[in-house]
Chain A
Amino acid sequence: LDKSVLDIIISGCLQGDSKHKKAFYELFSPHILSVSYRYARNRTDAEDIFQESILKIFCYLQQLNELEKIEWWIKRIVINEAIRFYKKNRSLVFVEDYQTVNSSEMETSDVYKTMEVAEVLKVIQVLPDRMRLVINLFSIEGFSHEEIAEMLGISVGTSKSNLFDARKKIKILMHEKVRRII
């Protein structure tokens, strides 16, 4: 993304110009919504996280100093908003009891080839909140367990065990989905 163009758009946003706000929204909203979906249980939650994130991004846009890091800056806002959303709705967490799936006939490479992104997204969404957050933060965003523990307010051990459980469940769910497709 051209820095000068981005500078123009952001300057317009800061001046309250609606066209520039729309341009900014159209530029970054697809990425923001994708991240929101990964951290949410369903579409409704994803859109709530998305909406709150967009509002915060515009609210704090003037504090953005380095245009080169805008994508990471935006992603951090979405992640923080998702964590805030998770903490706010902690009492509503419902952990499903997944059935053990026998996928002994499936090769790993076959699973990878068969799965679409949308299906992977659905697999992640059905994970319990804490597991979903940890697998997102560790495997996709690249945070360390120490950082995750600090962000979520849990211990490093809890983060590790949640990651282990999340991986295990993902594998089971992926194999199950692939078997259904086949």
Chain B
Amino acid sequence: MNHEILHDDLDDFLKNSFEGHTIVPGDELWARIEPQITLNMVPHAKYVRMKYAFITAAASFVAVVFLLFAQNISLFNQKNQANPALVKNSELPNLSTAEIKNKDEMANTSEKRITSPETKSSGSKMKEGLKSKATLADQSTEMATVSTVLNQDSRNNSGSEIRTSESILPVEIDPMECQEVASTENCPSNTSTELAIPEKPVPVAEKATIANRDHRKSASSFHFPKIDLGSIFYSSSRPVFRLSGNRNAGTFDLSEFLKKIEVGFNYSPLLSSRTMGQTPISGNSDIDRQYFNNIEKALLTGSYGLDLMYKANDKWAFRTGIYFSGYRHETQNDALHREVISPDQVVLNTSAGKIPVNGTGMDQLPKLSVFNARINLSYLEVPLVARYYWDRHFFTDAGMNYSFLRSSKTTITAEEYTGAFSYSGVEGLRKHAFAVSLGFGLDYKLGSRVKFEIGPEIKWQVNSISANQMNTHPLYWGIRTGIRFKLRTPGYRN
């Protein structure tokens, strides 16, 4: 007789015995437990991710603005200062190198004729100035800039001018020489350039010689796009960032750009409701039209956030930013269609989207019910608005807005159901919303760099609120208020 149960059999027996086994607790247990329930306030993972993403984006934005601003200050503090190396070199005693002598000879034998009374009369000074104690690296940096300047001027067929802070040097340059030694892109057609070299005359001939040398070195090399920070030291006006090694390429004047930037904050109390399409219900919907959209109630919502405005000129400006915005509306006596997709999937078709209701009590509603709903949606919004100033104070705004759905919460109250039911898992809500906006306003100057603005605004969402058969478009209208600050650009003579 086998009275021993095999171990594996016992394990299987135990496992099978308790598979799906349940014991229904008594009601008194829930009554005892419920008051003690506390929710840990650790945010849900997806909200944590969204929060960190937003913080990172905001921090990046602030950092970029700060860096641009700070860089502008530090660069501008050096405006109008001569290149210290150049000044130093011009005052150094004779310490020529073999390389420089060779370059002198090259200059003498070249076809280039640079005639300048001041230059010729100060021939010895020219040599002295170039006989430097500085290292070749320093000379190279210095002369590269001079080279660029001279090559630019050498495109003139007739005599050009090289300006110093105290004198203007007429220069005659043979264009053929330039064509020989430099590529076309390195010979722009600008007529003159300002050189911020104080006091002593510039040794032009030597600079031309060195320029030729540098051109020969770099004529065949590829110029990577770069920001030519060095050029600012020779600018007598303000920093100019060259976006390419090629002087012919476009330049970006940071100081001028910042002068036109205004940052600020806005808060706009708005009423939100919705507009419906002409055929909001598709043909196969069971929703009774007589109940549909009986009472629409606009609710107060709003938006607030950071503004960034670029004022192109006296008439036109462009505004963007990042806002937190909301959409709320209430529908009363609306029709609700309960749809049984499968035994374990019952949804309510509403104008707010499809709401899964299994196990919530709402799945016991009749197929067609009358309900009230209050919809709350939260968005992160980025506007892109053009502003036209009619005069110094009055303006019109027109533009587009992109919004990203952050969260949703809808409260539904059906007549057959006692109490309200809130849910956040609405299916079909569009994550991305696009809207057009129109506004008018008044700019009021509070200080030399501070402005306050106020005016009516209306906004309409182009795409529908959800992907279900309801063609619902949020509509906002209200008052836009904001305060803007003009960026300070130190040293810039506004």
The stretch from B50-58, B238-246, B421-429, B467-475 touching chain A is: B421-429
B419 with A12: CB separation less than 8 A: no
List A residues 1-32 near B (Cβ within 8 Å): 1-2, 4-5, 7-9, 11-19, 21-23, 25, 27, 29-31
Known A5-B357, A18-B34; contact A11-B25, beta-carbon cutoff 8 A: no
A22 with B33: CB separation less than 8 A: no
Please measure, in the bound complex, the distance between the C-alpha atom of A7 and the C-alpha atom of B422, giving whole angstroms: 12
B34 with A21: CB separation less than 8 A: yes
List B residues 1-38 near A (Cβ within 8 Å): 1-7, 9-11, 13-15, 17-18, 21-25, 29-30, 32-34, 36-38
Question: With an 8 A cutoff between CB atoms, is B360 at the interface?
Answer: yes
Shortest beta-carbon distance, A74 to chain B, in Å?
13
B14 with A120: CB separation less than 8 A: yes
Residue in chain B with minimal CB distance to A119: B17
Q: Which residues of A contact B424 (CB under 8 A)?
A: 8, 11, 15
A139 with B10: CB separation less than 8 A: yes
The stretch from A60-68, A79-87, A91-99 touching chain B is: A60-68
Known A2-B356, A107-B1; contact A14-B14, beta-carbon cutoff 8 A: no
Q: Which residues of B contact A33 (CB under 8 A)?
A: 22-25
B34 with A16: CB separation less than 8 A: no
A61 with B39: CB separation less than 8 A: yes
A9 with B7: CB separation less than 8 A: no
Known A19-B419, A38-B18; contact A58-B3, beta-carbon cutoff 8 A: no
Shortest beta-carbon distance, A95 to chain B, in Å?
21
B32 with A51: CB separation less than 8 A: yes
Q: Which among A2, A50, A121, A175 is the interface contact of B358 at CB below 8 angstroms?
A: A2
Please measure, in the bound complex, the distance between the C-alpha atom of A38 and the C-alpha atom of B1, giving whole angstroms: 31
Residue in chain B with minimal CB distance to A28: B22
B29 with A50: CB separation less than 8 A: yes
List A residues 102-124 near B (Cβ within 8 Å): 103-108, 111-112, 115, 117, 120-121, 124
Shortest beta-carbon distance, B308 to chain A, in Å?
35
B15 with A139: CB separation less than 8 A: yes
Shortest beta-carbon distance, A73 to chain B, in Å?
13
Question: With an 8 A cutoff between CB atoms, is B105 at the interface?
Answer: no
Q: Which among B5, B44, B359 is the interface contact of A108 at CB below 8 angstroms?
A: B5
Known A30-B25, A50-B25; contact A62-B10, beta-carbon cutoff 8 A: no
Q: Which residues of B contact A63 (CB under 8 A)?
A: 40, 42, 45
Q: Which among A59, A65, A142 is the interface contact of B45 at CB below 8 angstroms?
A: A65
Q: Which residues of B contact A175 (CB under 8 A)?
A: 3
Known A105-B1, A107-B2; contact A25-B30, beta-carbon cutoff 8 A: yes
B360 with A4: CB separation less than 8 A: no
B359 with A59: CB separation less than 8 A: no
Q: Which residues of A contact B6 (CB under 8 A)?
A: 108
Q: Which among A19, A25, A117, A170 is the interface contact of B21 at CB below 8 angstroms?
A: A117
B344 with A34: CB separation less than 8 A: no
Residue in chain A with minimal CB distance to B46: A65
B23 with A30: CB separation less than 8 A: yes
A140 with B2: CB separation less than 8 A: no
A62 with B42: CB separation less than 8 A: yes
Please measure, in the bound complex, the distance between the C-alpha atom of A21 and the C-alpha atom of B422, giving whole angstroms: 13
Q: Which residues of A contact B29 (CB under 8 A)?
A: 29, 47, 50-51
Known A5-B360, A8-B425; contact A117-B18, beta-carbon cutoff 8 A: yes
List B residues 355-375 near A (Cβ within 8 Å): 356-361
Q: Which residues of A contact B9 (CB under 8 A)?
A: 108, 112
Residue in chain B with minimal CB distance to A142: B15
Question: With an 8 A cutoff between CB atoms, is B183 at the interface?
Answer: no
Q: Mark A133-168, 1 if CB is under 8 A from B, else 0.
A: 001001110100000000000000000000000010
Known A4-B427, A17-B422, A58-B39; contact A27-B359, beta-carbon cutoff 8 A: yes
Quick one: which of A22, A59, A170 has the most chain B CB within 10 A? A59
A29 with B5: CB separation less than 8 A: no
Shortest beta-carbon distance, A5 to chain B, in Å?
4
Q: Which residues of A contact B184 (CB under 8 A)?
A: none
Q: Which residues of B contact A177 (CB under 8 A)?
A: none
- Give me 15 A-to-B residue pairs in the complex whose CB atoms sit less than 8 angstroms apart, sorted by A's number: A5-B344, A8-B356, A11-B423, A23-B359, A30-B23, A34-B21, A60-B40, A62-B39, A62-B43, A63-B42, A106-B3, A117-B18, A117-B21, A120-B13, A120-B18
Instruction: With A15-B422, A117-B17, A117-B21 given, name 9 new contacts (CB 8 A).
Output: A2-B356, A8-B357, A14-B44, A22-B30, A29-B30, A55-B38, A58-B37, A107-B2, A108-B9
Q: Report A's interface with B, CB cutoff 8 A.
A: 1-2, 4-5, 7-9, 11-19, 21-23, 25, 27, 29-31, 33-34, 37-38, 47, 50-51, 54-55, 58-63, 65, 103-108, 111-112, 115, 117, 120-121, 124, 135, 138-140, 142, 167, 170-171, 174-175
- The 4 lowest CB-CB distance pairs between A and B, nearest first, are A30-B22, A5-B358, A4-B356, A139-B11
